[in-house]
Copies of this chain bind each other. A is one copy, B any other.
Amino acid sequence: MEKIKRTKIIDVLKREDYGTTVNVKGWVRTKRGSKAVNFIALNDGSTIKNVQIVADVTKFDEEMLKQITTGACLSVNGELVQSIGSGQAVEIQAKEIEVLGLCGNDYPMQKKGQSFEFMRQHAHMRLRTNTFGAIMRIRHNMAMAIHTFFHERGFFYFHTPIITASDCEGAGEMFQVTTMNLYDLKKDENGSIIYDDDFFGKMTSLTVSGQLEGELGATALGQIYTFGPTFRAENSNTPRHLAEFWMIEPEIAFMDQTELMDLEEEFIKYCVRWALEHCQDDLEFLNKMIDKGLIDRLKSVVDTEFVRLTYTEGIKILEEAIASGKKKFEFPISWGGDLASEHERYLVEEHFKKPVIMTDYPREIKAFYMKTNEDGKTMQGTDVLFPQIGEIIGGSVREEDYDKLMHEIEVRNIPMKDMWWYLDTRKFGSCPHAGFGLGFERLILFVTGMQNIRDVIPFPRTPKTAEF
């Protein structure tokens, strides 16, 4: 076979120099045809679109043509010709075909219309399907949007540690990390495990959030963001939970609550706009196959000014809806309690029909590090609530006053052992600052229209599942 430099399919489909001989490589999506001609849809992952290969049956070895089955890997030299029937502007009239990799009948992605559950069990091969190819290209683009957004604004990407000796946020159950021989654990006279011989000489876990270390970065470098894996060992078998997921946590010195809301809104609109501009083909596919309202919903977020609403105002709206008989909720609602998903969705999807930034939550339902308002009752939280998704961003101004922070820690009985370094930020040149956290997979759910969080990460980690 003549050696010709490969062209990616995304590039071949843009070309108009008909008559040129090109080389493409990829995997067979479908093969159909008559006795005279075979039509092979070839995909190489660079785009959701296939290039159509036209093979004149008389010109090729019959045995070789039989090897061209769904999933097989081909290298094709052929002439670029204008296409009429393929759905694309060009197709390739094959001159030479080499089968690089055979694909047998037991190829799990052979049949169309398999369930998502089946796909999860074959997550290593689902990446070769249209749906998961689209999701993964969008996922890449959202990561790139995030890095670009922060880079353009002078933020520094800051790697907070994954293995940590502190659990102070109390965000959830943690995974223990150890190198101890579990068959030979050392214990003291009281029966307590001695961690001296563990790798770090103490008990360590996987991080649940990089925020506290992120604050160290922000109070030195001014503006930082994290983008890394975080872990929750919660035994939750739901379409919304992963044991291992990626978080983005910007933290900004000298930022107040209004500026924080501005940043949150600008940030998420930037990401969604990036998707609309960079992922058109993939979004059109998902809009057609997965969620007919997807593109409209994305556009509406970009075009809409978010509602800014205090928790107290939110409660009032919900209470009025109940009192007027307009709405019934499963869970009760009263000032001081957490909003349930149904309450958030009512505000966003029915009452305002817009994303809502909810602020100034009761102290009791928020974390110790948030700045308390002058009323002494509420804290300067700023959560972004989205249609379909609910809370997509959780943010707040941080308490910069040492004494007030210590008070919150004591009231909550938070163990501050090993947390001296965090308190030092309030002791040495303390500064007002604020930040937020975004669960990356939540964003991908919103942007792809998918329903299950296990379908927007390549290899999900959930209870009893650590395959691949």
Binding site for B on A (CB under 8 A): 6, 8, 10, 25-28, 44-46, 71-73, 75, 100-104, 107, 124-125, 127-128, 132-133, 136-137, 139-140, 143-144, 147, 151, 154-165, 173, 175-179, 182-183, 185, 191, 193, 199-202, 204, 206, 213, 216-217, 219-223, 228-229, 231, 233, 235, 243-244, 246, 253-254, 400, 418, 421-422, 424-432, 457-459, 461, 463-468
Query: A159 — which chain B residues lie within 8 A by C-beta?
Result: 139, 229, 246, 457-458
A466 touches B164 (CB 8 A): yes
Query: A151 — which chain B residues lie within 8 A by C-beta?
Result: 140, 144
Other-chain residue from B143, B217, B221 in contact with A147 (beta carbon distance below 8 A) = B143
What is the chain B residue whose CB lies nearest that of A147?
B147
Query: A461 — which chain B residues lie within 8 A by C-beta?
Result: 161, 163, 200
A459 touches B220 (CB 8 A): no
Query: A185 — which chain B residues lie within 8 A by C-beta?
Result: 182
Can you report 17 A-B residue pairs in the complex whose CB atoms are below 8 A from each other? A8-B154, A75-B254, A100-B400, A100-B429, A107-B429, A124-B422, A127-B220, A139-B157, A140-B155, A161-B459, A163-B244, A175-B199, A182-B185, A182-B193, A204-B466, A228-B229, A421-B468
Query: A221 — which chain B residues lie within 8 A by C-beta?
Result: 45-46, 127, 133, 136-137
What is the chain B residue whose CB lies nearest that of A144?
B151
Q: Give bound CA distance, A156 to B465, whole Å.
A: 25
Q: Give bound CA distance, A404 to B233, whole Å.
A: 40
Least distance between A70 CB and chain B CB atoms (Å)? 9
Other-chain residue from B182, B201, B233, B425 in contact with A179 (beta carbon distance below 8 A) = B233
Query: A243 — which chain B residues lie within 8 A by C-beta?
Result: 163, 199
Take A222-B8, A244-B162 as given contacts and tell me if A216 and B127 are in contact as well, using a CB distance cutoff of 8 Å.
Answer: yes
Query: A6 — which chain B residues lie within 8 A by C-beta?
Result: 254
Given contacts A27-B220, A46-B221, 16 further A-B contacts (CB under 8 A): A26-B222, A27-B431, A101-B430, A102-B430, A104-B427, A137-B221, A143-B157, A161-B461, A161-B466, A162-B231, A165-B467, A175-B179, A183-B193, A200-B461, A200-B464, A201-B463
B463 touches A27 (CB 8 A): no
A466 touches B162 (CB 8 A): no
Q: Give bound CA distance, A219 to B127, whole Å.
A: 9
Q: Give bound CA distance, A220 to B180, whole Å.
A: 38
What is the chain B residue whose CB lies nearest that of A400?
B101
Least distance between A192 CB and chain B CB atoms (Å)? 9
Query: A154 — which chain B residues lie within 8 A by C-beta?
Result: 8, 10, 46
Take A157-B144, A206-B177 as given contacts and tell me if A199 and B25 are in contact as well, using a CB distance cutoff of 8 Å.
Answer: no
Take A143-B147, A233-B179, A463-B200 as given contacts and tell me if A428 and B125 are in contact as well, using a CB distance cutoff of 8 Å.
Answer: yes
Q: Give bound CA distance, A221 to B128, whole Å.
A: 7
B100 touches A432 (CB 8 A): yes
Query: A160 — which chain B residues lie within 8 A by C-beta?
Result: 458-459
B100 touches A213 (CB 8 A): no
A156 touches B137 (CB 8 A): yes
A430 touches B100 (CB 8 A): yes
Take A127-B216, A193-B183, A243-B199 as given contacts and tell me if A100 and B467 are in contact as well, using a CB distance cutoff of 8 Å.
Answer: no
Q: Give bound CA distance, A341 to B254, whole Å.
A: 47
Query: A156 — which chain B residues lie within 8 A by C-beta?
Result: 136-137, 139-140
Query: A137 — which chain B residues lie within 8 A by C-beta?
Result: 156, 221
Q: Give bound CA distance, A168 to B429, whole Å.
A: 49
Query: A175 — which chain B residues lie within 8 A by C-beta?
Result: 163, 177-179, 199
